[in-house]
Amino acid sequence: MAKVFRIALTGAPCSGKTSAIERLAADFYNESRDVFICTEAAYEVIAEGYSRDDYLVFETEVAKKQIQNEDELLKRAYNSEKQEAVIFYDRTVTDCFSYVDDRDALAKSIGMGIVDSWSRYDAIIMLEAVERSGYFCTSSRIENYETALACQDKLLDVMVGHPHLRYVKSNDSFDKKYASVKAEIDSVLSGYEIEKKLLIEYPDFNKLAKYKPFKAKISQTYLLCAVGSHRVRKRSASGVDTYFETLKIRVTGSCCEETESIISKQRYDELLKSADPSKHTINKDRYCFLFDGQYFELDVFDFWNDRAFLELEMKSENHSFTLPPEIKVIKDVSNDYHYKNNYLAGLDL
């Protein structure tokens, strides 16, 4: 089977996602890589005669159609004769939750909640709304500019927390915005993770509350491995457990080649039998939040009460970033192996 990458684009109306996907399909298709596009399901539902008069009914149908389309396209991608296949999704199942007030009712109707839906996408790229001067309506885009901004806020409410969310800010031109989107996708497809890791003072979560952080509990266990770092992770959030298997081979202090996949609980339990006996399981609370268009992950550990980690994935090692004023940095530990989770797991803390 082909190696499949599932990359979703979302954003406020008129944010440029559909136009970006059309260009991405051409730019990423080559002799060894197939490209598939999962179009926005809402158009199909409207064509079938459904209206937005009752958003719960409408979005339920959109979500069901989206799931059906995604599942069919995923089978085609896996059966590609090429080595790789990329699926670009124009919106996601997760989007549907942003449009309804009764999210529990939607989850019950489609058999999955917000956190469950995240596992359908390896990465989600959210495009920021354009400036007012660049906004325009069409026959299918009925929202005015103020409504579009409200849609953006609701989307952020359901997207923040995804393990691999990217936020692309608006630029002076669509070409610049597209270049940022393409750079993010290049990073995903390369398999290389460039991470800025900061040791910070224990945060005041009351002050960070305005960023609406999403909390997940993580249990991370390292396995016996001859090359690199092999680990399994249980990520629990909103009553949903998701299991990951990750192999990392470090290239530089802050850059590593990473292969990560979502696995079943059965596979997770089986791999735990190969846990490295010299290392203990790392337990931490992870808080995900956006600041100035940057997606931060703040990790608090059960063995520290005076410090924590703040992490940010970057497109390049010289990528500039800004920090929330509430964060007090002790030092940059991106290249210090003493602060790698793998190393900490071997200490008696």
pLDDT digits (tens, 9 = 90+) for 235-287: 999 999 999 999 988 777 667 788 899 999 999 999 999 999 999 999 999 99
Q: Is the pLDDT of residue 51 over 80?
A: yes
Give the 3-state secondary structure of the chain.
Answer: CCEEEEEEEEECCCCCHHHHHHHHHHHHCECCEEEEEECCHHHHHHHCCCCCCCHHHHHHHHHHHHHHHHHHHHHHHHCCCCCEEEEEEECCHHHHHHCCCCHHHHHHHHCCCHHHHHCCCCEEEEECCCCHHHCCCCCCCCCCHHHHHHHHHHHHHHHECECCEEEECCCCCHHHHHHHHHHHHHHHHHCEEEEEEEEEECCCHHHHHHHCCEEEEEEEEEECCCCCEEEEEEEEECCEEEEEEEEEEECCCCEEEEEEEEECHHHHHHHHCCECCCCCCEEEEEEEEEECCEEEEEEEECCCCCEEEEEEEECCCCCCCCCCCCCCEEEECCCCHHHCHHHHCCCCC
pLDDT category, 133, cuts 50, 70, 90?
Answer: low
Amino acid letter, residue 231: R
CA dist 295 and 287 (Å) reads 10
CA dist 143 and 270 (Å) reads 50
Q: Is the pLDDT of residue 140 over 70?
A: no
CB atoms within 10 A of CB 338: 8
Gyration radius (Cα) of the chain, Å: 21
Q: Does domain 193-344 have CATH number 3.65.10.10?
A: no
Q: Is the pLDDT of residue 132 over 60?
A: no
Average confidence score pLDDT of the chain? 92
pLDDT category, 97, cuts 50, 70, 90?
Answer: very high
* Exposed/middle/buried for residue 240 (C-beta within 10 Å: 0-12, 13-18, 19+): middle
Summarize the confidence of residues 5-23 as an average pLDDT: 91
Q: What is the pTM of this model?
A: 0.91
CB atoms within 10 A of CB 59: 26
Q: Is the dihedral of CA 75, 77, 82, 84 positive or negative?
A: negative
| pLDDT more than 90, % of the chain | 77
| pLDDT more than 70, % of the chain | 95
Q: Where are the domains of the chain?
A: 3-190, 193-344
CA dist 220 and 230 (Å) reads 11
Fold of 3-190: Rossmann fold (3.40.50)
Q: Is the pLDDT of residue 143 over 70?
A: no
What is the reported pLDDT for 136?
Answer: 57
The answer to whether the 3-190 and 193-344 domains have the same CATH topology is no
